Chains A and B, each alone.
Chain A
Amino acid sequence: MVFSGIPFLYYFLPATILLYLAAPRKLKNAVLLLASLVFYAWGEQRLVLLFAATILLGWLLGLLIERFREKVWSRVFLWLSVLTTLGLLGYFKYADFFMESLNSAFGLSLPLLRVALPIGISFYTFQILSYTIDVYRGDVAAQRNLIDFAAYVSMFPQLIAGPIVRYSDIAGQLTARTHRLDKVASGVRRFLVGLGKKVLIANVLGQLCTQFRQTSQPSILFHWLYAVAFMLQIYFDFSGYSDMAIGLGRLFGFDFPENFNYPYISKSITEFWRRWHMTLGSWFRDYVYIPLGGNRRGIGRQLFNILVVWMLTGLWHGAAWNFVLWGIFYALLLTAEKVGLKKALDTHGALGHVYVLLAVLLGFVLFNADSLDQAAQDIAGMFAFGKLPLFSAEAVYYLRSYGVVLLLAVLGATPLPKRVIAALSENRKLTRSWNVLEPLLLTGLLLVVTAYLVDGSFNPFLYFRF
């Protein structure tokens, strides 16, 4: 089930809200857990038991780690948690990738497992891992209530595509949280904005990307059009999903961490990764980069740590070489920035913007390719002067047809809309009108989104495959 679907919006969500409102305070987490399991099982019927077992194991190991704190068993249980969660992730997500790579490198014929990737496994694995590590470190107390713990891991707003909510982020809210009017209203606002970003921008740009793949008139313009469209699509898709998750969290009294902060206005890749998928970046920083030594053991070790973290970041996104290369690409850029490029960029702001946009654009072309060959073709096509026509009638047509959506997406990827809305709400003369107009606009947005959903069929979330 996806947030931007009729079954979620008009069946699951109202039913869950009604049950949640009707439930006494003590049972609210149980209602959330039940709803989350239904939500998960809707898309993953067979592996819901694996999901439940993973939660149970994480909970038990958390308790055992705490029980044997300061003793060797605590470390044993921590490793058990790390090995089982990463083992499951490795089995479902990476086993075939490694076997295929071995087969192709050494001419072997190791049989492939061909197992389906459980939805959201990359996200909930990291949540459980961060929990057991935090319990081991003594940063959080182990959760004794299984329902509360299971509600945390499985909570449907953030279950399948993040943000990666750490247990420490919401531990207090699991047992005591408030449901204030302003919080619920801000949740509704955030959810509807995210829904609009996903359905009206990301899905529409996704159609343009599909048209590119089907073209019979390749041209340099169409290659660039595709690259820009995908770069915007993935931002609006993923940040839209995060907005919806954060908004839904507020409806149920939770404060989830922010995941995006206008990444395309960055002036360096270092800054970009502080603004893009922030919860993943901070997870790798706290649980991989710093434990490896971070920047405390000299520049050589720091660069090695960066390479490891970014190879893992690439692999987290997908079990394919283009994702690994994508990670290495960022490791190289970050390394270049660490050894001096960033200073140069800081003094030439405009150059920094161009550099970031171009690097991210090329990175996402690599990211979205089905294979390294296709990535090479897509990138070569962008610079195939003399080999491909500069433009084709088809590319011009799609540029005209998607021009307004592209323009809205470009503007929407900057803080401009937020500033305009802030100016409207802070203007004393307009405040009263805006207080009525904004809810009406949001309702109109919901209706238009619903119309798009009823009429359309193109609605996959890009981050579901991770």
Chain B
Amino acid sequence: MKWKNILTIALAACVIFGFSAAGFLKAPEAYSMAERRSLAQKPALSSQQLLSGKYMSQFEDFSLDQFPLRDNMRTLKAAASRYVFLQKDNHGIYEHDGYWSKLEYPMNSGKVARSGDKLREVYETYLEGTGCKVYLSVIPDKNYFLAPRGGYPVMDYSQLVENLREKLDFAEYIDIFGDLSLESFYKTDQHWRQETLSGVARTLADAMGAEISRNFTVQELPVPFYGAYCGQAALRMQPDTLYYLTGDLLDECTVTSFNTGLPTASFMYDMEKAYGKDPYEMFLSGSDALLTIENPNAATEKELVVFRDSFGSSLAPLLASGYSKITLVDLRYLQSGLLGNFIDFENQDVLFLYSTLVLNNTVSM
């Protein structure tokens, strides 16, 4: 009994004092590659911070973010939740048939309405009476296909689309749900796979009266693609393979970014980012407030403006052949009030193309 008591105290003390000492000695990390976010840093100590209680709450964030072996701890938690307590999801992230996803449930009517209001405001400010043809298309997220298969809760996607269409009654709706399947998505990431999007591109182009090329060569990125869910789930998973489409037409297109306010040459496929922390960012260099793709070989003068999220980055190259210029706008990074400084709306095709992930969650759009 005596030795049991000694062992009990010694082991508990080793864990508590060991992690405590390691926490003091460990240099703070700035960024978590697994979680793809900046980590909290030690707060500055001041009487004002102390009296307001901010120091305490910031210190608690710091103590969690900078805990020694944080990623291993997250893995231990995820494994205990999944394999010991047999929980079906961990922070909403679940796996079924080898596909990982995050529960997108229930529908957030308020946020969908706010997204619709924002897009309507753009229409009323810039598009109404300009001769632009306006289209709306909604990209279903992976849960639409995956969740029902595994008995996970599914939001009412048709209601979401209906709510949005009511708000954007000025736009012609293009249904692309039927052009997608579970296989259109990466297993470890929320995004769709570019090489599976020819059907989506064709449906959109047909509805907008554009003719697009189907001549692409499929290229394989020679490094494994660990999607966003790898880090978020904190569990070991098989990586995806990322493919991208190339061709002469795309090679000759000019991509220009206006992220800084000034035109800057950019890339259709940013190979530096392909080998970076999030390879999906290779498509049009990832997050970009405003970007244009100019096609010198276009058989038409038609232009397209796409209001989009990150799903649009991998789709836009497939539409490039049908237009002389495609302008991609991400309202999450660009105040809509500044749009007029960059775009003259006149007779273009305008496509509002958003994923349900953004419509159901965004607060910034």
Residues of A at the B interface (CB closer than 8 Å) are: 1, 5-7, 9-11, 13-14, 42-43, 45-46, 181-182, 184-186, 188-189, 192, 200, 204, 214-217, 393-394, 396-397, 400-405, 408, 435-436, 438-440, 442-443, 446-448, 450-456
Contact = CB atoms under 8 A, between A and B. Distances in A.
Interchain residue pairs A-B with the least CB separation, the first 8: A185-B5, A401-B88, A451-B76, A216-B106, A451-B77, A435-B4, A455-B77, A439-B7
A185 B9 contact: yes
Contact of A189 (B8, B20, B53): B8
B50 A45 contact: yes
Given A6-B67, A214-B106, A454 B73 contact: yes
B64 A6 contact: yes
Contacts of A396: 151
A52 to B, nearest CB: 16
- For A6, A13, A46, A402, the residue with the greatest tally of chain B CB atoms inside 10 Å of its CB is A6
Given A442-B12, A452-B80, A45 B151 contact: no
Contacts of A9: 16
A400 B152 CA distance: 10
A448 to B, nearest CB: 5
A393 B80 CA distance: 25
B254 to A, nearest CB: 45
A416 to B, nearest CB: 18
Contacts of A188: 8-9, 12
Interface string B229-264: 000001000000000000000000000000000000
Contacts of A436: 4, 7
B275 to A, nearest CB: 29
Contacts of A11: 20, 23, 63
A452 B88 CA distance: 16
B214 interface: no
Given A215-B106, A401-B87, A10 B19 contact: yes
A397 B153 contact: yes
Interface string B91-114: 100000000000001110000000
Given A14-B17, A454-B64, A394 B153 contact: yes
Interface string B1-44: 11111111101101111011001000000000000000000000
From B2, B23, B64, residue with most partner A Cβ within 10 Å:
B64
Point out which of B4, B53, B70 has the most chain A C-beta atoms below 10 A from its C-beta: B4
Given A6-B60, A7-B60, A216-B106, A400 B11 contact: no
A448 B8 contact: no
Interface string B52-65: 11001001100110
B118 interface: no
A7 B63 contact: yes
A371 B180 CA distance: 46
Nearest to B74: A455
A396 B150 CA distance: 12
B76 to A, nearest CB: 4
Contacts of A452: 77, 80
B77 A185 contact: no
Interface in B278-312: none
A217 B155 CA distance: 10
B211 interface: no
B9 A181 contact: yes
A114 to B, nearest CB: 18
A43 B56 contact: yes
User: Of A5, A217, A397, which is in contact with the most chain B CB atoms at under 10 Å from its CB?
Assistant: A397
Contacts of A404: 84-87
Given A43-B53, A214-B106, A438-B8, 19 more contacts: A10-B63, A11-B23, A14-B16, A45-B51, A181-B9, A184-B9, A393-B151, A397-B151, A397-B153, A402-B87, A404-B85, A408-B85, A442-B8, A443-B14, A446-B12, A448-B76, A450-B73, A452-B80, A454-B64
B15 to A, nearest CB: 5
Given A6-B60, A10-B16, A181 B5 contact: yes
B78 interface: yes
9 contacts: A45-B50, A186-B5, A436-B7, A442-B11, A443-B14, A446-B15, A447-B15, A455-B73, A455-B77
B20 A435 contact: no
A46 B50 CA distance: 10
**B9, B12, B84, B152 interface centre (most CB from chain A within 10 Å):** B12
B64 A453 contact: yes
A448 B77 contact: yes
B89 interface: yes
A440 B343 CA distance: 66
Interface in B190-236: 234
A184 B91 CA distance: 36
B293 to A, nearest CB: 40
A9 B77 CA distance: 17
B74 A393 contact: no
Contact of A185 (B4, B85, B151): B4
Contact of B76 (A46, A192, A214, A447): A447
A269 B191 CA distance: 56
Contacts of A42: 56
A450 B1 CA distance: 27
Contacts of B60: 5-7
A128 to B, nearest CB: 25
Nearest to B59: A7
Contacts of A439: 4, 7-8, 11
B87 A454 contact: no
A401 B87 CA distance: 4
B73 A435 contact: no
A188 B86 CA distance: 28
A41 to B, nearest CB: 9
B15 A443 contact: yes
B9 A6 contact: no
A346 to B, nearest CB: 38
A213 to B, nearest CB: 12
A28 B114 CA distance: 59
Contacts of B5: 181-182, 184-186
Interface in B128-178: 151-154
B15 A397 contact: no
Given A10-B20, A436-B7, A403 B1 contact: no
A181 B73 contact: no
A450 B18 CA distance: 13
Task: Select the residue from A45, A214, A216, A455 with max chain B CB neighbours within 10 A.
Answer: A455
Contact of A400 (B2, B64, B151): B151
A216 B107 contact: yes
A189 B1 CA distance: 13
Contacts of A6: 60, 63-64, 67
Given A216-B106, A443-B11, A450 B88 contact: no
A189 B9 CA distance: 9
Nearest to B11: A443
Nearest to A397: B153
A261 B12 CA distance: 26
A340 to B, nearest CB: 44
